[in-house]
Amino acid sequence: MTYKQIMSELEKKIYKPIYLLQGEEAYYIDKITNYIVENILTESEKSFNQTITYGKDSDVYNLITLARRFPMMANHQVVVLKEAQDLQKIEELYLYANKPLDSTIFVINYKYKSLPKNRKLYKSINKIGAVFDSKKLYDNQIPAWIDDYLKEQSVSISQPASILLSEFLGNNLSKISNELEKLILTLPSGERKITPKHIEDNIGISKDYNTFELTKSLGQKNALKTNRIINYFASNPKVHNITAVISGLYYYFSKILAYFFIKDKSNKFNVASELKINPYFVDEYRITAKNYGAKKVVEIISILREYDLKAKGVGNVSATHGQLLKEMIYKILH
């Protein structure tokens, strides 16, 4: 089942006996679980009929006994198993999943992993309950996710601001949602649009000095702007760790290298789909590819690997991370 299907049923008070919520993206797993914990039972019913336990602290057979209890002065009891990936002998839960109680709502949070589909437990839950696979979003999907999230709050965001946030925060939806909530709370009275300036003032991400602006200036071969950014990075090593900078550049130039092998480059959306990037970036990628050429991009990737090793102390005795960044950028540009 999808997240929307599960939430729609829950809001209509249509309950499954077991929910297996699994996968890499914790955000939706937590959203579903929190809704069940907060809404199915009344406050007075929760004290006798709601149990939240953790895999490392639980015993599979005690859980089965708990799930087989009947509710007290309520229509349901709720049992939530968090961090189920740490539960020993979890497969034995199929003994309950084969014959669950309709009055028990058993929620299994199996984060960052997935149960094997060919095992008895998965098959039993899939037959009578709800299985939700929570997958990580690709980086190019994050700006659209941010837009949708804010629309639900009647807030909009400029495209540069959306891209700035996704570039800085990555694809951790829980982290992104927390920062968005902070931004919404700090919007000036009467304003309902988030801008790069708003992000800079309230989160501390510089709209001018960040990895996104660095790759953009490198792609344009704008040596003056590139050196300004890298000097800022060198003077703020705690905020702009060299390993993170190299990782961002490696990701960028790896995409540029892949661009050369795309057969149909005439369609912007085809290029974006092939590279798994936001269509907003396609023109920038075309300019970078034209300015450097495939041979130079291969050389740049080699330079990045070299300086990644130097940053970790391999072949580097005394150069600071700031000095290494400046050397590396010089080699990339020349």
Residue 168 is predicted with a pLDDT of: 78
Residue 29 is predicted with a pLDDT of: 96
CATH number, residue 219: 1.20.272.10
- Residue 153 vs residues 30, 31, 178, 180, 326: alpha-carbon distances, Å: 19, 16, 13, 10, 43
37 lies in the same domain as 127: yes
CATH number, residue 28: 3.40.50.300
**Last residue in a domain, options 185, 203, 221:** 203
Q: Which residue type, as a one-letter code, is found at position 108?
A: I
Name which of 5-9, 134-138, 199-203 the model is least confident about. Answer: 199-203
121 lies in the same domain as 157: no
Higher pLDDT, 327 or 163: 327
Rounded to 5 degrees, what are φ and ψ at 221?
55, 40
Q: Is the pLDDT of residue 208 over 90?
A: no
* Bridging pattern class, strands 156-157 and 193-194: parallel
> pLDDT, tens digit, for every residue of 171-191?
889 989 999 998 999 888 888
262 lies in the same domain as 328: yes
Residue 203 is predicted with a pLDDT of: 79
Strand (E) positions, the chain?
18-23, 50-54, 77-82, 104-111, 130-134, 156-157, 193-194
96 lies in the same domain as 8: yes
CATH number, residue 184: 1.10.8.60
> pLDDT, tens digit, for every residue of 270-318?
999 899 888 888 999 999 999 999 999 999 999 999 999 999 888 887 8
Chain-wide mean pLDDT for the chain? 92
Q: What is the rounded CA–CA span in Å between residue 142 and residue 172?
A: 9
300 lies in the same domain as 230: yes
129 lies in the same domain as 143: no
105 lies in the same domain as 198: no
At residue 146 the predicted structure's pLDDT band, cuts being 50, 70 and 90, is very high
236 lies in the same domain as 184: no
**Last residue in a domain, options 134, 151, 182:** 134
Residue 93 is predicted with a pLDDT of: 96
- Residue 1 vs residues 80, 125, 126, 129, 131: alpha-carbon distances, Å: 19, 12, 10, 10, 6
Q: Residue 253 class from Cβ within 10 Å (0-12 exposed, 13-18 middle, 19+ buried)? A: buried
Residue 239 is predicted with a pLDDT of: 76
**Pick from 202, 175, 208: which is nearest to 187 by CA?**
202
126 lies in the same domain as 233: no
At residue 209 the predicted structure's pLDDT band, cuts being 50, 70 and 90, is confident
Domain count, the chain: 3
Q: Per the confidence metrics, is the pTM higher than 0.75?
A: no
Q: Give mean pLDDT, residues 203-219.
A: 85
Query: Domain range spanning residue 197?
Result: 139-203
Q: Is the pLDDT of residue 225 over 80?
A: yes
Residue 288 is predicted with a pLDDT of: 96
Give Cα 315 distance to the centre of its chain.
Answer: 35
Q: Give mean pLDDT, residues 51-77.
A: 95
State both tokens at 231. 């000097």
**Last residue in a domain, options 203, 232, 257:** 203
Buried residues in 279-307 as b, exposed as e (16+ CB within 10 A): eebbebbbebbeebeeeebeebbebbebb
